[in-house]
Structure 1
Amino acid sequence: MALPRGASSIRSSFQLAVEVVARPAIRVLNPRSTSRCFSTQYSCLSQPASRPLRPGFPVSVSAPLSRPLQQRPVRRTLFTHAPIYRDYVDLPRDYRDEVGLPFRRDPLETYEVLRIFGPHISTIEANKLLRILHGRRVAGTLDDPSFKINTSHYSKSAIDAALKYLRHAAPVDEVANAGLRAEDELRALEEGEATPEEADNAEATEGTGYTSRFKMYKDQSEDNVYGEGALDKIRARNIAKYKEQLRQQEEEKRKREEEEAKAHPGGLQTIDQRQPRAVSPRMQEWKQKAVLSDMKEPPQMPAWKRLLPSTIFVAILVAGFTVYAQYYQPPDWRLWPDYSPATATVGALILLNLAGYALWKLPPAWPLMNRYFMLVAATPKPVSILGAMFSHQAASHLLVNMLFIWFVGIRLHDEVGRGDFLATYMASGSIGFLATLYSLVLRKQLHLTTLGASGAFYGAATAYFWLHRFDGFKIFGLPPDPATGIQGLGFIGLMLALNLTAAFSKNAHRIDVMSHIMGMAVGLAAGVILEKRHKTPAARQMPLHTKTDLGVMGKIVEKK
C-alpha cells in the first residue's frame, strides 16, 4: 500500500491494519495530484478544483490558529511517536505559531546545538526556534511578517542556521504549503466564511455595515468611497495585535525594573544588568595567542593525513617502553631513598599531572597547552597524545584520576616492578587516545577535543585486577568473613559496565569513553603478558622492604 506523499513516518502494514480497525471511516483529506511543479508561482500547483476548504480555518494568511479546527483523523497509533507534520493539509487543529511543531522525535542535544548554531544560543532556545520555524514551513507562514514577533529576539544568523538545518533534516515543500494556505484564505473570502475573530465579535459588528456572514466588502462610508475590504480588516487586526504584544512586553519590562529598583534601593545592579568585567590588554593578547588558528572550520584533508602521523608516534612510543620494560634494572642510586620505588614512581606521575593542571591556570602557558597538551581532532599533533595524558583542566577530574592511580598504581608497581608498570601505563594511555582520534576523525566529529589520564588509569587497573582475577577484595571490611569479597573479574566487569552505560547516556559527548575502553583492552593484554613473564603469583611478590604501606588507603580495599 503506498503512503500519502508527505507522510511523517513509514508504518508497517500491521500498524495500518490497527488504524483501519480503530477508524472504520477514514476521510481522504485534500488529495493532491502526483505532478511535480518547479515554478515558484502558486498557480502551477496541481490541485483538484473541488478540494473543500478546511472548516474552521482563519481567513488571514497572518492570523494564528486561535480556534481549533473541526475533528478529523489523526495519523497516530499505539505504535508511533508524536507525528512529524510536513504537509499543510495535515496541520493539527491546536497549532500555534509561538509553540510550533516538532521537527523530529527528540529535541536536539547540547553537542548538536553547538555543531549547528555554535556557543551563542542555549539548547532550550535552539529547540524552540526550530519548532517555531518548522511550524511556519508547514503552515505556509514562513515569510509572513506578522509572526516575526515570536522570533524577534533571535539573531538573523541563528534563524538562517536553523532553516538550513531544517531544510536538510526535515524536508518540507514550503512553496506548496504557502500556496495551499493562500488558496484557503482566498476561497474563504470569496465564499464569505467568517473568521474566528469575527464570530466572537458578531454582536459588536451589528449595525456597522457587517452581517453574520463575512462579506468581501463592507458598506461604503464617508471616509472611503470604496468601503473597507476584508483584506483591510485583516491587516488592521494584525497590526493591532502586534501593537498589543509590544505594549505587553514594555509593561512587563517596566514592572520588572520597578521590582528590581525596590529590591536594590541603593542602586545595586542585578546579574543580568551587570556589565562584564573589562579584560586587560595583556589578557586579550594571551587569549589571542592561545587560539590554535584563525580558521573558521577544520582544514580539508583526507582522514589518513590526520591519523598516520599520530599512529606512527604511538607505535614508536609503545615500542620504546616495551624495550625499556625488557631491559630495566633497578638502579643502585635513588633520588628518594626514603620512599619505596612504587611511591617514587607513582608520586612522580602525580606531580606531572599536578604541573599540567597548574599550567592551565597560567594565561602565558595557554598557547603551549592548547598545542601540545590537548588532543584536537581537527588538527592533531602527534606529541599532543603524550601531553594530554598529563593534562587536566578541571580539579574534580584531576582529583578522581590521581586518587585511583595512587591506589591501583602502587599495588601494580609493587608486583611487577617499575619497567613493566610504566610500559603498561604509557601504552594504555597513548593507545586509548589514538583510538579516540580514530573515532572522532572517521565519524567527522572534528570539533571535539580530549585530555586526561583516565585511559592510562583504566589500563593499569585492568592489568592489576586481571592478575588477581580470582582473588577476593573487601571494601571497608565488607562482606564479613567467611566471604572473600568481590573478585578481580567483578571489578573489571564493573568498570566496563560503567563505561558502556556512559556511552549511551545524554552526556556521552562529555566523556571520552573510547579511550577508557581501549585503555582497558590494552591493560588486559598487558595483564596476560605480565602473568606469563612473572610466572606465579608468589614470584610477583616483591621483597617486604620494598613494598609500600598504603596506610588508610590500604584498609579501604583489602585483598584476601
Structure 2
Amino acid sequence: MSNVLCVAWRTPGLGLRASSLLPPNATAPFRSIGRHSSPAWLLDSISRRFLNSSSLFTPLPFRLRRPEAPCPPSPSQISARFFQNSAGLLSQKVPPPEHGVKLRDEPFSKAEIDAIFGTRAKISLAMGNRALSVLQGRRLDGTLDLDFPADITRAVRAAGLDAGLKYLRENYPIDEDAAIMARIEREEREEETKLIRRAEELGLYKPQSGSYGAELGEGDDPSGRSVLKEYRKQNEERLLAEAERKRQEWLEGEEKDREKWKQQMEKNTSLQKYEDTSALEVKERADPTQRPVLAWIQKHHLRATNYEMDVTQLTTRRRILPALGFTLLTLGLCYAFAANYEPPAKADRMWPDLPPAAATAVAIIGANVGIFVLWKAWPPAWRLLNRYFISVAAYPRPFSLIGNVFSHQTVRHIATNMALIWFVGTKLHDEIGRGNFLALYMAAGVIGSFTSLTIHVLTNKLFITSLGASGAVSGKPACLPACPFGIPRAVYLANNQITSEKLTIAFLPREWQDTISAPGWVFLAGLVTFEVLSMVFPFRMATLDHWAHLGGYLTGTLWAVNWKEKERIEREKNKTWLDKVFG
C-alpha cells in the first residue's frame, strides 16, 4: 500500500492555512485524525445508540442537549475548507426533500395516527404518514442521529417522534445497529474516495491501473472489463441470430420446394407418368432445434436433389452422344491398358504375400464397399454420389457410366455381386492375367451402362435410374446370380472358351459336377433367354436392369471370340513346318 493517502491528508497543515480561517480557540492542539471525524457529541450519540439499541427509549440525537460552548473545528473541517474556494463557501446546495420509505400501500388512517402519536399531539393525517415514512427511512439508513426536516420538527414534538419510533420498532423490526454500521462504512468509503481523487488531481497519487475507480470486470474482476469477452459475447449473439435466421429459412423453404416441384411436374410430361408418387412428394422438414440429426439428413438430401434442373431442354441427341463419346474413350483406354500392362515384381507389390488375383478382387470389393458406406452413413456425400455414381436417363452425366458400376445401395445387392467377383473373378484373373481382367471389367461395365442408358432414352423412360447390380438372385435351381455389368457372365463364357471346360456349380460334390454341367454356350443362351423373358414378362419380386446385363453378355462374348482368335493365330505362328504339313 502506498502512503500517499497520509500525505494527501496532512497536506492542509498549519503551515499552509491562512490565519484568518482559524477560529479564536484554534490554539488547542490537533487530535489524531481517524478515518471518519465528527463532533464529539455526535460520536457519543452514535456509540451510545449502538451499545444500547435494544432499549425502546434511548434518547434520540435531536433530543440531546447541545454543548453550550462552540466546539473547536475538527481538522477534517479545516482541511475541507482549505480545498474549497470562496464561491463554494457562499453557495450551498439546497438538500432534496426527504420522503422516507413507504410502509404499506395504503396510508395510515386518522384513527391509526392518533393511536400512534396520541390525540394530544394534534398531528394531521398527511404529517403523521410523512413522519412515519421518514422515521422508517432513517432506521434503514442508520441516520436517526441526524436532524429531521424542518416541517416535521415544527409539527411533531420529540415525544411524538419517540412514540412513532416505538411503534415502528414493535411492528416493523429491523437491525438498526447493522444499519448504523453500514452507514459508517459507507461514509468512510465516500470520504476515502474523495481523498484519493483529490490526491490524484494534485499528482500525489498515481494508481497502478492508470485511473482510480476504473470499471471492474465481470464478478468485480480488478483487471477491468475484458474486450475479448465482449467480442466473444457479440460473436455468440451474432451466431445465435444467424442460426435462428437459417432455421426460419429452413422451415419456410418447404413451401418453396413444393412450388418448385409443382413447376417441374407441369413442365415434364414424363414425370407426370411416373408411378412411384411417394418419391416425388416433398417431405415435411424437421426443426433443427428439436430433431437436429433428421434436419441434418434432410438438408443434405435437398442439396443432393436438383430442383433447378430443366430436363425439357435436353434432346435425345444431347443425352446419348456425350455418353457414346465417353464409352469409346473408355474402351480405348481399356485396350491400351491391357496391351501395355506389365505385372510388377513380387517385391514391388503392395501385398506381396497375397495372390495377384485375390489382391485385385480385394481392391475392387473395397472400392464398392467404400461407396456403399457413403450411401448409407454419410449424407454430405449424397450430392456427389447422385451426380457421378448413379445413371439417370433424364439428365445423364458421362462419368456416371463408369461410376455407377461401383455403386450399390442395398446389402443383398452388393453381397451378391462381390461374391461373384471373388469366386468367379479370381479364377478368370488367373487364366487371363490382371491387365486383361481389369480391362474386361471396365469395358463390360461401361458398355452395359451405355446400353441401358440408350434404351431408356429412346423409349422415353427418362426417370429410370441404374446403379450397381440391377438384379438379385432369381429363383433358379442352380441359384445363378445376376450382375449389372455382366462381368461374371463374361467370366463364365471366357472361361469356357479358354479351357474348353464345361460350366458347373463349384460347391457341388465332384461326382455330381460331371452330371450337372453344361457347355459355356448353353449357359450363356440360358442367361440371355432369362433376360429376354424377364423383359417380356417382368418379375415383380426384383427390378433388374436387363439391358445392362445384355450389354455385359455382349462384351464378354466379343472378348472371348477375340481371345480365341488370338490364341489360334498364336498357335499357327508357333507350329513347325511338319505340323503345318501334316496338321
TM-score using structure 2 length: 0.43
**Rg larger in structure:** 2
TM-score using structure 1 length: 0.45
